[in-house]
């Protein structure tokens, strides 16, 4: 079981820091004991095996204790970003029928209070802090004080590694949230594979800027607990030189980022002028990074292994990696499958494509999700007898290295976010002046892609881009708000009469 990783590491390394936050740290022993108490509080509050419990906490020692506490209670963790508005928080927790919620004070707690009336299944809330008011009488509310005064309970009987461990929400093609169900076996298999190819040991210490609710961020937590290493938590990329200071000060051996993370470090920090003798490797995933940026990163970090990776939430994080020694001749490739993963390129008829022939990337392995929560149709769209259909178009070269050449679906990848165009379009269509809306991604040097919206007017109406942007800001998280909104006389259309988003992505004006 996934939580056994923490218990096993605590037996070996009880006094070793697992989480370092500024000048404070929390050891394996402390977090193991704290998670035991969280599990006991949840169980006493009526959380049973298989129940879903939301987590709305920033990266912190408290997050780690709560996360493993949920798992130790036999429940299913549902990690959610702290920046989510009440509407999206309610949508995810209602979708999975969450009975419990662990939430941080401040903005996350305010959003949770506003969301509770829309979550009919919710029975208990554990506030990470002291603030406990503002919830209906039907909701049991516990705080850190209750956790501190609770004794740990024994091991939960009847556990199976086929039990769900996580429901990780990622926008589907329909725009509604889709919860990828990852079992303990899924996550453990992927964790072991990543530990293997990164050669992680107890001596490894990674600086973490990626949020734990993001599956890439979660993999940093899982792999370093599995290896017995340490996590150096750093809040954000707002001050990029502070990240470099954290790497230097902590003598970190590893760092992980999405393309926008490295774009910020390359363009807005003194990365190239500094040296990090302890830094053994850096990893990149979360969308394609321009080859020019990879080259600059390699030049800026002499002696550090730069590892490009590819994956998906539905794959528990990782599918491929590019060995650093092949960057010279395979720059731009997503590399080779990680241990225990099979990746193929399939034609539309399901047959396997030949070398350098383009088809859909389809993966098989013990890390592939069980399905989407409560969504058999959505599950059937991506999972079948061939494996997990990634939605990405790619090719395999004669040496067995894979390359992504396009996207079969329209998902926009902006920084660490996956954005469904439909979700944004639905908000734009709430404006009575809008007749039609189409949203696409535009390449961006920092974020990978940004959201661009196109709308047409209803007869006699004049949509206001400024008003539309305010509407999106009220109903969407910041990453999903369009960077630009264009009012068009008409939408470009293909032969079937559908909006031609390829034309929109290419910036061709059709009047």
* Distances, alpha carbon 479 to alpha carbons 325, 337, 430, 508, in Å: 35, 30, 19, 25
Q: Which of 159, 177, 197 is the last residue before a domain boundary?
A: 159
Contact (CB, 8 A) for 413 and 449: yes
Pairing mode of beta strands 124-128, 100-104: parallel
pLDDT in tens, 330-389: 999 999 999 999 999 999 899 999 999 999 999 999 999 999 999 999 999 999 999 999
- Whether 57 is covered by a domain: the verdict is yes
* Statement to judge: residues 382 and 437 lie in one domain: no
Exposure letters 402-416 (e unless 16+ CB within 10 A, then b): bbbeeeeebbbbbbb
Contact (CB, 8 A) for 246 and 209: no
- Whether 178 is covered by a domain: the verdict is no
pLDDT in tens, 393-433: 899 999 999 999 877 777 788 888 878 787 898 899 899 99
* Distances, alpha carbon 486 to alpha carbons 428, 457, 509, in Å: 12, 11, 11
Half-sphere exposure of 311 (CA within 13 A, CB side): 33
pLDDT: is 171 or 315 the higher one? 315
* Statement to judge: residues 255 and 391 lie in one domain: yes
pLDDT at 238: 84
Tokens 């996360």 correspond to 67
Contact (CB, 8 A) for 157 and 62: no
* Statement to judge: residues 345 and 430 lie in one domain: no
- Whether 237 is covered by a domain: the verdict is yes
Q: Provide the number of structural domains found in the chain.
A: 3
- Whether 176 is covered by a domain: the verdict is no
Q: Which of 359, 376, 407 is the last residue before a domain boundary?
A: 407
* Statement to judge: residues 112 and 233 lie in one domain: no
The domain spanning residue 112 has which CATH number? Answer: 3.40.50.980
pLDDT in tens, 139-153: 999 999 999 888 876
* Statement to judge: residues 383 and 421 lie in one domain: no
The domain spanning residue 350 has which CATH number? Answer: 3.40.50.12780
Q: Which of 143, 159, 175 is the last residue before a domain boundary?
A: 159
Residue 73: beta bridge partners? none
- Whether 389 is covered by a domain: the verdict is yes
Q: Print the domain residue range for 448.
A: 414-505
Share of the chain above pLDDT 90, in %: 74
Apex 465 CA angle, 462 and 469, nearest 5: 135
pLDDT at 130: 82
- Whether 455 is covered by a domain: the verdict is yes
- Whether 373 is covered by a domain: the verdict is yes
Residues 6+ apart with CB under 8 A from 142: 41, 45, 124, 125, 126, 127, 132
* Statement to judge: residues 239 and 134 lie in one domain: no
The domain spanning residue 493 has which CATH number? Answer: 3.30.300.30
pLDDT at 118: 93
Burial of residue 462 (number of CB atoms within 10 Å: 0-12, 13-18, 19+):
exposed
Contact (CB, 8 A) for 167 and 213: no
> Based on C-alpha coordinates, what's the Rg of the chain?
23
- Whether 168 is covered by a domain: the verdict is no
Tokens 């800026």 correspond to 300
* Statement to judge: residues 29 and 121 lie in one domain: yes
pTM of the full predicted structure? Answer: 0.85
pLDDT in tens, 171-226: 543 446 699 999 999 999 999 999 999 999 999 999 999 999 999 999 999 999 99
* Statement to judge: residues 398 and 493 lie in one domain: no
């Amino acid at each position: 079981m996934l939580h056994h990783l923490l218990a096993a590491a605590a037996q070996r390394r009880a006094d070793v820091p697992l989480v370092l936050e500024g000048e404070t740290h929390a050891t394996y022993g402390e977090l193991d004991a704290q998670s035991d108490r969280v599990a006991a509080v949840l169980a006493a509050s009526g959380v049973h095996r298989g129940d879903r419990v939301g987590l709305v906490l920033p990266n912190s020692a408290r997050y780690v204790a709560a996360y493993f506490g949920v798992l130790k209670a036999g429940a299913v963790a549902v990690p959610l970003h702290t920046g989510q508005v009440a509407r999206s928080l309610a949508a995810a927790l209602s979708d999975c029928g969450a009975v419990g919620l662990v939430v941080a004070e401040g903005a996350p707690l305010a959003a949770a209070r506003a969301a509770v009336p829309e979550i009919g299944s919710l029975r208990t809330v554990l506030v990470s802090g002291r603030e406990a008011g503002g919830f209906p009488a039907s909701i049991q509310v516990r705080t850190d004080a209750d956790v501190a005064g609770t004794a740990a309970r024994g091991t939960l009987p009847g556990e199976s590694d086929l039990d769900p461990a996580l429901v990780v929400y990622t926008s589907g093609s329909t725009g509604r949230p889709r919860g990828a169900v990852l079992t303990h076996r899924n996550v453990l298999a992927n964790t072991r594979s990543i530990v293997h190819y990164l050669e992680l040991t107890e001596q490894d210490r990674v600086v973490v800027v990626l949020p734990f609710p993001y599956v890439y961020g979660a993999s940093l937590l899982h792999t370093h607990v599995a290896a017995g290493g340490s996590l150096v938590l750093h809040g954000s990329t707002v001050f990029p030189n502070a990240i470099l200071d954290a790497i230097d000060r902590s003598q970190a051996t590893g760092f992980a980022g999405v393309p926008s993370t490295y774009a910020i470090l390359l363009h807005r920090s003194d990365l190239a002028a500094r040296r990090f003798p302890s830094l053994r490797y850096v990893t990149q995933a979360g969308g394609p990074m321009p080859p020019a940026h990879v080259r600059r990163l390699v030049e800026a970090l002499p002696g550090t292994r730069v590892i490009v990776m590819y994956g998906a939430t539905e794959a528990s994080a990782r599918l491929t990696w590019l060995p650093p020694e092949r960057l010279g001749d395979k720059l731009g490739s997503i590399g080779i499958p990680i241990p225990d993963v099979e990746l193929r390129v399939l034609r539309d008829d399901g047959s396997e494509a030949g070398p350098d022939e383009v088809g859909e990337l389809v993966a098989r392995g013990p890390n592939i999700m069980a399905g989407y929560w409560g969504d058999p149709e959505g599950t059937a769209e991506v999972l079948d007898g061939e494996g997990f259909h990634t939605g990405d178009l790619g090719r395999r070269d004669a040496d067995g290295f894979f390359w992504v050449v396009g996207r079969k679906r329209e998902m926009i990848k902006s920084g660490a976010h996956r954005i469904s165009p439909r979700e944004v379009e639905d908000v734009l269509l709430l404006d009575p002046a809008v007749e039609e809306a189409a949203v696409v991604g535009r390449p961006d040097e920092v974020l990978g892609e940004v959201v661009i919206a196109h709308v047409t007017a209803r007869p006699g109406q004049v949509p206001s881009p400024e008003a539309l942007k305010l509407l999106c800001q009220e109903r969407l998280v910041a990453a999903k708000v369009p960077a630009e909104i264009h009012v068009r006389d008409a939408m470009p259309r293909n032969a079937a009469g559908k909006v031609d988003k390829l034309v929109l992505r290419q910036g061709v004006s059709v009047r």
